[in-house]
Every structure is written in structure tokens, then in C-alpha cells.
Amino acid sequence: MQHARPLPTYLVQRYLGWKATTYKENRAWYRRLASEGQRPRAMVIACCDSRVQVTSIFGADQGEFFVHRNIANLVPPYEPDGQQHGTSAAVEYAVTALKVAHLIVLGHSQCGGVKGCLDMCQGRAPELEETSSFVGRWMDILRPGVETIDSLPEDQQTEALEKEAVLTSLRNLMTFPFVAKAVEEDELTLHGTWTTIGEGGLEAYDPARGQFRPVNPTE
Amino acid sequence: MQHARPLPTYLVQRYLGWKATTYKENRAWYRRLASEGQRPRAMVIACCDSRVQVTSIFGADQGEFFVHRNIANLVPPYEPDGQQHGTSAAVEYAVTALKVAHLIVLGHSQCGGVKGCLDMCQGRAPELEETSSFVGRWMDILRPGVETIDSLPEDQQTEALEKEAVLTSLRNLMTFPFVAKAVEEDELTLHGTWTTIGEGGLEAYDPARGQFRPVNPTE
Amino acid sequence: MQHARPLPTYLVQRYLGWKATTYKENRAWYRRLASEGQRPRAMVIACCDSRVQVTSIFGADQGEFFVHRNIANLVPPYEPDGQQHGTSAAVEYAVTALKVAHLIVLGHSQCGGVKGCLDMCQGRAPELEETSSFVGRWMDILRPGVETIDSLPEDQQTEALEKEAVLTSLRNLMTFPFVAKAVEEDELTLHGTWTTIGEGGLEAYDPARGQFRPVNPTE
Amino acid sequence: MQHARPLPTYLVQRYLGWKATTYKENRAWYRRLASEGQRPRAMVIACCDSRVQVTSIFGADQGEFFVHRNIANLVPPYEPDGQQHGTSAAVEYAVTALKVAHLIVLGHSQCGGVKGCLDMCQGRAPELEETSSFVGRWMDILRPGVETIDSLPEDQQTEALEKEAVLTSLRNLMTFPFVAKAVEEDELTLHGTWTTIGEGGLEAYDPARGQFRPVNPTE
């Protein structure tokens, strides 16, 4: 691998800072996590977006969350065709091997992937329609969801589609036999959430009302 | 989505804590991140493992790292076949849309995915060989790497394969035309790293010596 | 005390969250609790087990329960020998100084202490018989109770002994003169309860029938 | 046990509320905690005082903290005499069986037990000096600590002795061979903390400065 380069110095420096503080203070716990293995309570599926910090928002301790992050927090439908499905592999490992109790899909505002999907489906991004566009093909997962928001005023479409992406993932999760079985046997619960980058808000999907609602409506 | 459930109360409580402290202290920055969009300096590809906290190790602030996390931090080879490739989509978005300057692959010790690959390739996990095993098919990406560690003493094989997974990802990254181009034009550098869960160690691949070395050899 | 270390950062962060939310919302009450002193209605004696959350199960507000937690929720017999008896001190303070109206002993399923007592008394844990074993000597309090469950089928013994531990504590409580007096003068009532970790069940001892019964038999 | 009484209705009602909400939402996790056993990261030793809510202050999830609560959060010195030592048994179980990574002693303001100790040692509470006083004998553990605060102005003595109680427990913990060994082998860290009931403050003992300091001095 002649193309690899040394780690940028600023990251080395920060790592050494972490080692001398956080690591040092928690060494006993980290060693135990290493020797006994992980036992996370929840899996979180979130976006790669640099502005979403899953563990920070939920005050998560090392060892608590099994985290999969991809473009637009999407889960494709169950398709056991022998091909490489990274998201499906992560879900399979979390549910069948780690037996997590919660599976939380976390969407967010200003999502570039969702915006690209909307542009593509409404004819404004022909380059994403090309076979060679990995982002375009990945966002195909959300294509059926565009219908559900098409009749909304234009300035509400992106946010609605971001939330629809969360629901699409939840629906697709239920097409996985091992997810459906765990849910039906009360061994796993699914949760849909959506956060706003700028305001630090958090909404959770309320199945009784069929809509997303702020987790703290009175604030 | 009648299957979704409300967010567990302990997470709501912790979120409200984050909102009242971290968010409140950084509100101006978060609002700017929302209005101006993300501009991450680096993409990190790490494992979903709950014991690996990418942003913590590197002291990353909100907005700094575009993070993709999958089983065993693997990147498949370039394959523009019109199918859904979540990892390839994340890499494409980071390199062509966000134009990140660094792409860091972060492996780790005690990796369950790598262990599964080793078991599968050495005949101890026939269930992973089945077509329907998403984890097995995903770990096929690392199958060629098993040859490189097969002759090592058994107790050194897992660690060696964890590091080989990092190198496999770096090699596969170079098969993406847009990655190779950005690297050749000095707009992107690739980095291979590997961390130990229990000891909080960090090694980086040194291309001059062709091996991983502790980032702080003198400590 | 050169051995003390700083508080782990994740706990500091969570504490600050609590301060900014729960504390802030209840400040007036907490200040009054501080200036006027505590006046708890009940004392609860429960196990140290991390899976038993006394205040959560009973929806207890700050100031309501005086809580003593030890291994297997045991109360030793009255023994005013001038030695240090932590549990007896807690009971004495609750009954004579705070004059609580209820004293609730809360047992639970999967109790490691009770399991150890059973193993010890049936010859499977010789290490617990050693003089130097604090856990073994503490579980001696329950030793007489093992006789009462010895003839049961093996798979029913642990649960039966967990409930016997609650009854043993209630019986021992009545050997304390100040407890017996308060009970006889109708200033204190004793209650025996047992909860199941996995199913969230709660049973209460029914003196009329001489057995534990679900608090909600119709559910 | 003819003295036991049915559970007060208000507690039955609250329990049923917990069962229908918190339990129902977290059923999968509670079942897993039951089947796999507890694996708490920390042990907390706190006071029985009804105004101290350990799990709430630290945003603790079910399964995170092994909690021992006694009068004035005291740990007696190591004394393997074959007698019943409830606190020593709890510490032994946490450190040797559960292998917790942190042991946190949590003191608090307005502590009735500490106040009693001060009154007793300064001659204002002769009843606590009696052999039959369980509270008096228990507070003997803190008697040597009174010397350290005796020369302070009277209105500073109680708070100083509350903090001394935390340090006494930390010192006594180090007299347990299994605690000292775990600390020396970096498998356990000890932490001293003290909280104010009315103001919701939290101070942690800083070994470098030899004093308690607010965890958030800039707030």
C-alpha cells in the first residue's frame, strides 16, 4: 500500500491527549470491555453527516451503542441474493449475534443525501440517474417515498422526505425475517427519530398519532 | 409504521441534558453548521463495534468528520453495476461532493466481524458460508486477505487479519477512479490505522516500512 | 487519599444534564428538602443488584423513600453487642428518628446473593464457607431459610429462597424492640415484596394466605 | 409472618403505571438483563437519605450501577472476623464477582448520620454513646475523622465531616486486599464525590490538590 500516508499530526496530538485523559481515567472499564466483549443495549442507524454526533446527543458511554452510519440512514429491503449488503450485514449482526434490545433510526435536517434524492426524482439531478452513480443508486431505496411528499408545498418537501427516509428504513427492517421475529417476540423494539442540526431539536415517531413529535413538547 | 415504539425514557432524559449543556454552549456553531452546510476535513471508515468511539479518540468536534461505520471497516472494490452499494456511495459523496482532504480507515482489536471471517475461511463457521448470511457475504471482501495470514502462528492470526482488513480497504479504495484521481492530484490522502480496545493503543500504517507502527513509539 | 481518581467524564456530562433539567425543574422542592430536612413516608430495603431500581418501580419522588440496599435485601436479627451493624443502624434511624410509616422489603428474581447461599448450603461453594468470605458470612443470615425450601424440586428452589429471604428479613425486623413496638402501636406497617427482573412482575406477601401473590392478579 | 400487611394502594397504583409505561417500553432490555445477568460498570456507595437519588443524578440506565446505600455512605475497615459485615460483603461481591471498573463514594449535605456523629463526639448526644445504639456504633467508623475537623469554625464542621466521611470510606476501602490489588493492577478506580441537596451541586475529590472541587467550576 504505497499510497497510505502517515496520520496528520493534529490527529496524533489529539489522540495522545485522549490517551492521557479519557483513556487513563477509564482504563479499567476499557480493559473489561476488551476481555468480556461488547454487550450494547441498542443499535443506532444514523447518517454519515459530520454534524450528527450520535453518541454525544444520547450521552452514550463506550460499549452502549452499536452504530451503523451510511448516507441518509437508509436500510434497504431484505434481499438475500448472496451479494454484498453492508447495512443488512450490520443489522443481522446486531440482532442475531448481539441481540440488541432497541434499534433506533436517527434522521436529521439538512440531509444532503435526501436532498439529492429529491433533486434526482424531480428531474434536477440527471447525473444521479446514471448507472455509475453510487449515491444515486443508494438513494433509489428512498425513491418510493418521494410520492408521499410530492403534493406538499416545495419548502416542506425536504424535511418531510427526511422523515419518510426514517419510516422507509423502519418498514424495510420489518422485511428481515430475523427482525420481524425479534419484534414479534418482544425481544426488540424499533424507534424512529429525527434531529435538527441548528436547533438541536429531537422528534420521535409516535405510532399512535402516525407522526413525528418533539420529545419535549413543552420546552 | 405501527411497529415503532416511543424512545426509551433514559435516552430522552440524556438528550435533554445534552440540549441544556453541550448544545446550549455551542449553539452559534451548530446554527452556522446548519445554515452553511458541513465542510468536514476528513472521512473516517470505522467498525460499528460499540467499543470504538471514533470521535472521542480523535477529539473530533461536530462538523469535522464524515463517518461511515460498517462491519469490520471494509470497503468493497469498485463495482459500478447499478446495484446498491452503501459504502461506495458514502465514499463517493465524501470525495466528490464534500472533497474531504483525508480518508482514514480505522480498524480495531477484538473485531467480531474479522473473527467470523477467519472462522468461516478456516472451516469453523459453515453457517457464514450460506448464501443467506449477510455477514458471511460481507466478510467475503476480506476472504483474499486470509491467505496473507494463514501461515502465521494461530494466536497472531486475528490481529494480523484485522490489520489486513484495513489494507484491503485502502487497496480497494484505490480502485475507485475518483479516489485514485484525487490521490494522484494531491487532493486526498489515505491513512490506515488500528486501535486496541483494552489498552487504548493506536497504530498507523507506515508505507515506508510496510507495516503498522504505534503512533507514539516512545511512550 | 492519593488513590482517588477524577470522576469519569461521561458521568460529569450526565450530571450536568440532570442539573440543567430535573434539578432546574424541581429547584424549589429540593431547596425546601434541604432546609426542612427529609420526611420520608417509607423505608425500602432492597438488593444492591444493578437491575433493581427501587425508586423507578414505585415512581418515587425525591424525599419519599429512605433506601437501604445490601446484598439480598437481608436484615440480621437484633444483636445489640456494640459491634458495627450497618443494616440495623439504618432500620433504627428510619424507625426511631424519621418515624417512617411503612417498611418495605423488596426481593427480586435472579438474585446472585441468594443463589450463592443455596450453592453454599448445598455444598457447591466451599469458598463461601470460609471465615474470610464476607459474602458467605452475610448470607449466613439466610441459612436457616434453606431448610424450608430443601424438599422442593430443584428448579423451584432459588425463587422460593428469594421469597424466604424477604420473610426472614420481616421476621428479624420484629426482633428489634423499637420495630415491634411501632408495629404494635400501629405507627409502622411491614410489607414483603418480590419483583421479577425480566417480566417486571411484582408480588406482595399476603399474610391471610401465607404466600406471595401478584399485586395485579387480573393483568 | 402474621405482621406483614398488604402493599399501600398508592404504591400498587404507581407500580402498575411503571409496568404499563417504562417496563413496556424497555421489556426487551429487561428480559436480556434477566437472562444474561448484570454487568454493571460501577459500584456506588451512597447514603440511605431519601433526598439523594443516585441513579437520577447520574442518568443511570437499569443495569449500570451496583448500589449499596447505608447511613452516611461509610465503609468500615477490613475485618475478616467471621461476623456479619453487610457493607464489606457488598464491596467484595462488586469487586471480586462483578469486577466493576469504578467504585464511587457519594456523600451529601445535611447528612443526619454525620450530624449525629459530630453531636456524639462533641458530647451533645450521650444516647448515641450507648452500647445499644446501632447508629452510634455505626458512626464510630467516622469517629477518628472528627479530629481532622475539630479546629474549624463551628459552622463549617458538618460539611467538612461529610467530606471526611467520603475520604474515610476511600481509605478503608484500600485496607481490603482485593480492593487494593484491583486498584494496583489498574482494574478498578476509586472516586470520592459529595452533593448538595438544595443546590444540586456536585464536588469531586481531586487527589492532586487534596481537596473536593466542583465538577463544573465555571458554571
Q: Are A59 and C10 within 8 A, CB to CB?
A: yes
- Neighboring chain D residues of C112 at a CB cutoff of 8 Å: 37-38, 93, 97
pLDDT at B8: 87
pLDDT at B3: 81
User: Per this entry, what is the length of chain C?
Assistant: 219
Annotated binding-site residues of B for Zn(2+) read 47, 49, 108, 111
* Phi/psi at D9 (5° precision): -55, -35
pLDDT of residue D96 exceeding 50, the answer is yes
Q: What is the ipTM of this complex?
A: 0.96
C153-167 pLDDT, tens digit per residue, is 999 999 999 999 999
Grade residue D3 by pLDDT with cuts at 50, 70 and 90: confident
Q: Where is B171: in which H helix or E strand?
A: helix B154-173
Hey, what domains does chain C have and what are their CATH numbers? 1-37 (no CATH), 38-214 (3.40.1050.10)
Q: Is A102 annotated as a binding residue?
A: no
Is there a contact between A109 and A135 (Cβ–Cβ < 8 Å)? no
Distance of CA B151 to the CA centre of its chain: 27
pLDDT at B217: 55
Interface of B with D (CB under 8 A): 5-6, 8-10, 13-14, 17
Min distance A17 CA to chain D CA atoms (Å): 19
Integer Cα distance of C74 and D87 in angstroms: 12
Mutate to test the interface with D, among B3, B5, B10 (most CBs of D within 10 A): B10
CB nearest C18 (choices: B17, B22, B24): B17
Q: Is C68 annotated as a binding residue?
A: no
pLDDT at A60: 86
Strand ranges of the sheet holding C102-108, from the earlier edge strand across to the other edge:
C211-214, C202-206, C189-195, C102-108, C42-47, C65-70, D65-70, D42-47, D102-108, D189-195, D202-206, D211-214
Q: Are A200 and B167 within 8 A, CB to CB?
A: no
D200-218 pLDDT, tens digit per residue, is 999 999 988 999 999 975 4
Q: Which residue, D47, D199, D76, is CA-closest to D140? A: D76
pLDDT of residue D219 exceeding 70, the answer is no
- Neighboring chain D residues of B9 at a CB cutoff of 8 Å: 22, 25
pLDDT of residue D53 exceeding 90, the answer is no
pLDDT at A3: 81
CA end-to-end span of chain D, whole Å?
A: 53
pLDDT of residue D61 exceeding 90, the answer is no
CA atoms within 13 A on the CB side of A44: 26
Lowest mean pLDDT among A134-138, D19-23, D77-81: D19-23
Grade residue B135 by pLDDT with cuts at 50, 70 and 90: very high
- Neighboring chain A residues of D39 at a CB cutoff of 8 Å: 36, 39
CA end-to-end span of chain C, whole Å?
A: 53
A174-209 pLDDT, tens digit per residue, is 999 999 999 999 899 999 999 999 999 999 999 989
Residues 6 or more apart whose CB falls under 8 angstroms from that of B183 comprise A3, B174, B189, B190
Across chain D, mean pLDDT equals 94
Across chain B, mean pLDDT equals 94
Q: Are B5 and D22 within 8 A, CB to CB?
A: no
Across chain A, mean pLDDT equals 94
pLDDT of residue A216 exceeding 90, the answer is no
Grade residue C217 by pLDDT with cuts at 50, 70 and 90: low
C52-100 pLDDT, tens digit per residue, is 989 899 988 889 999 999 999 999 999 999 999 999 999 999 999 999 9
**Percent of residues, chain C, with pLDDT higher than 90:** 85
Pairing of strands A65-70, A42-47: parallel
Min distance B18 CA to chain C CA atoms (Å): 6
Q: Which residue, D197, D207, D176, is CA-closest to D57? A: D197
Grade residue A153 by pLDDT with cuts at 50, 70 and 90: very high
Cell of A183: 419484534
Grade residue B10 by pLDDT with cuts at 50, 70 and 90: confident
Integer Cα distance of C91 and A64 in angstroms: 37
- Neighboring chain A residues of D27 at a CB cutoff of 8 Å: 186, 189
Closest chain C CA to residue D129? C82
Burial of A139 (0-12, 13-18, 19+ CB in 10 A): buried
Integer Cα distance of B104 and A4 in angstroms: 9
Residues 6 or more apart whose CB falls under 8 angstroms from that of A200 comprise B18, B19, B23, B27, B30
Is there a contact between B205 and B106 (Cβ–Cβ < 8 Å)? no
Burial of A12 (0-12, 13-18, 19+ CB in 10 A): middle
pLDDT at C103: 98
pLDDT of residue A53 exceeding 60, the answer is yes
**Percent of residues, chain B, with pLDDT higher than 90:** 85
Closest chain D CA to residue A36? D39
Q: Helix (H) and strand (E) counts for chain A?
A: 9, 6
Q: Which of B21-35, C22-36, C38-52, D7-21 has the highest mean pLDDT?
A: C38-52
**Percent of residues, chain C, with pLDDT higher than 70:** 98
**Which residue has better confidence, C55 or A71?**
A71
Grade residue C13 by pLDDT with cuts at 50, 70 and 90: confident
D131-174 pLDDT, tens digit per residue, is 999 999 999 999 999 999 999 999 999 999 999 999 999 999 99
**Which residue has better confidence, C208 or B90?**
B90
- Neighboring chain A residues of D32 at a CB cutoff of 8 Å: 99, 101, 187
CA end-to-end span of chain B, whole Å?
A: 53
Q: Where is B211: in which H helix or E strand?
A: strand B211-214
Q: Helix (H) and strand (E) counts for chain B?
A: 10, 6
CB nearest A85 (choices: B53, B74, B138): B138
Q: Which residue, A194, A39, B87, C133, is CA-closest to D82? A: C133
What mean pLDDT comes out for the span B170-182? 98
pLDDT of residue D191 exceeding 60, the answer is yes
Min distance B17 CA to chain C CA atoms (Å): 3
What mean pLDDT comes out for the span B136-154? 96
What are chain B's partners, defined as 3 or more CB pairs within 8 angstroms? A, C, D
Is there a contact between B172 and B179 (Cβ–Cβ < 8 Å)? no
Closest chain D CA to residue C219? D16
What mean pLDDT comes out for the span B196-205? 96
- Count Cβ atoms below 10 Å from residue B166 Cβ, excluding itself: 30
**Percent of residues, chain D, with pLDDT higher than 70:** 98
Integer Cα distance of D30 and B206 in angstroms: 46
pLDDT at C8: 86
What are chain A's partners, defined as 3 or more CB pairs within 8 angstroms? B, C, D
**Which residue has better confidence, B189 or B216?**
B189
Lowest mean pLDDT among A89-93, B182-186, C214-218: C214-218
CA distances from B61 to A194, B42, C129, D190 (A): 20, 12, 54, 30
What mean pLDDT comes out for the span D37-55? 95
Integer Cα distance of A27 and A6 in angstroms: 27
Interface of B with C (CB under 8 A): 13-14, 16-18, 20-22, 24
Is there a contact between C139 and C128 (Cβ–Cβ < 8 Å)? yes
Integer Cα distance of A113 and A138 in angstroms: 9
B146-166 pLDDT, tens digit per residue, is 999 999 999 999 999 999 999
- Neighboring chain C residues of B21 at a CB cutoff of 8 Å: 13, 16-17, 20
Q: Are D28 and A61 within 8 A, CB to CB?
A: no
**Which residue has better confidence, A9 or C114?**
C114
Across chain C, mean pLDDT equals 94
